[in-house]
Amino acid sequence: MRVLVCGSTGCVGVAVSNALRARGHQVVAGARALSDGARTMHVDYMQPVEPAAWAERLAAQRIDAVVNAVGILIPAHGQSFERVHAQGPIELFRGAALAGVKRVLQVSALGVAADAQALAMPYLQTKLRADDALAALPIDGAALRPSLIYGPGSQSAQLFATLASLPIISLPGRGAQRVQPVHVFELAEAMVRLLERAEPARGVYEIAGPASTSYREMLAAYRDAQHLGDAIWLPLPMVLMKFTARVAEALPQKVYSRDTMRMLERGSESARNALPALLGRAPSTLAHGLAVTAPRAALDLRVQLSPAIAWAMRGALAFMWIYTALISALLPAQSGVLHLLARCGFDGRVGVAVLIASCALNLALGTLTLWRPSAWLYAVQSAAVLGYGLTAAFNMPELTLDHCAPLVKNVPVLVGVVVLWLALPPRPRGSARRSDAGRRAPIASTTTTHAA
């Protein structure tokens, strides 16, 4: 079978192209950066092409089937949802019908529907128009509506891996939004099975992983897959998240926008998951998919310290906190701490109270650094270093200009705290991993197929 794969350089396009080749099919790669050739075709939906012209090109290439895996999450570089998701694909589908192409697969999105909420989102609205146009044509066409896709080349997966790798992870609301991630290898396998099917494949197929999970649980799985320790989870109001998404739309990235936030809020669960039937087995869990194809964060924050180095750094940090507490408590006059507090506006009894509180805090931080290091401990230490330093710098600017740089030394101290924070070892999650142990084989074999 000779298959035109539009969007062949994207996450889904690469996976389905590799799966087709591994099964002995010929792939004609279609993308904007390619020119027409024996195994390539220039496909740019931003340039209108009459269906008759599409029919000629498809017939000239002897195309048996078409896969449309082109999609954008944020309009950029002169692209629009209207052309990329709706008008461009519809022109191609009509051309395929004229050329007598046997089968067309359209990669849509889970959540596409005719309700008011979905139609208010340009991403989903334009996907739906292409799905409906394909269904109305006299051709064996199938619309696949996958949930969140992860795996090699997925930009959204890279974003999730990056967010999950941070020491403080912000959540939209409580992070309770429901998702059902599917590995791109298994999506590609299902697409190949549909293309090879002897009976008609016409219809709509929801494609999702084996189980629904919350957004927070998904990020936790990404964090586990990167072998990172505990993080601090920070719930944020949805209003604030949507505001940051609006700001992010002006940045050079392609996944974080108001539309993607609305889609996350809407949820991405399948009521009738077709993937198990298409694969002939249960899909692989998110934990196994991430174990087989490790997530790649845009910023690698993984830190691994030898036990000796970790103990040396913790010992030095603990010494600093405990020494500061003792010298301030036992020698308040000689150490100059009361004068410093007075300069910062804490005089008399208030100054003594602040001195006692700071000594107690410093002593606790030093002791816990030695015996009970944790994400929250390092977060409090970071806040304390910043708080002490900025307060002193504001009230005593001369300390920042001193040739011994007493306040500037807080910068390497803060970096040391963060390094220890990032180097926290992951907590064992033995029960979860044992329960999934028998499910590695299916996706591992899929990985081998795609490597061909």
> What does the alpha-carbon distance between residue 186 and residue 17 come to, in Å, rounded to a whole number?
13
The helix/strand count (H/E) of the chain reads as: 22, 13
């889970």: which residue's tokens? 110
Residue whose pair of structure tokens reads 């993308």 in the numeric block:
31
Q: In the prediction, which pLDDT does 397 show?
A: 87
Contact between 45 and 70 (Cβ < 8 Å): yes
Give average pLDDT by consecutive 10-residue segment, the chain, 452 residues: 97 97 97 90 96 97 97 86 96 98 96 77 92 97 96 93 94 94 98 96 96 95 93 93 86 80 87 95 96 92 93 97 95 89 90 94 97 95 94 88 83 96 80 42 48 36
| Domain residue ranges in the chain | 2-302+436-451, 307-422
Q: CA-CA distance, 410 to 412, in Å (whole number)? A: 6
Say how many residues make up the chain: 452
List of residues 6+ apart from 160 with CB closer than 8 A: 150, 218, 219, 222, 295
pLDDT at 286: 96
**Cβ within 8 Å of residue 54, ≥6 positions away:** 91, 92, 94, 95, 96, 98, 99
Please give the model's pTM, rounded to 2 decimal places. Answer: 0.86
For the domain spanning 2-302+436-451, the CATH number is 3.40.50.720
Would you say 328 and 337 are in contact if contact means Cβ atoms under 8 Å apart?
A: yes
Who contacts 243 (Cβ-Cβ below 8 Å, separation ≥6)? none
- DSSP, collapsed to helix, strand or coil, labels residue 186 as helix
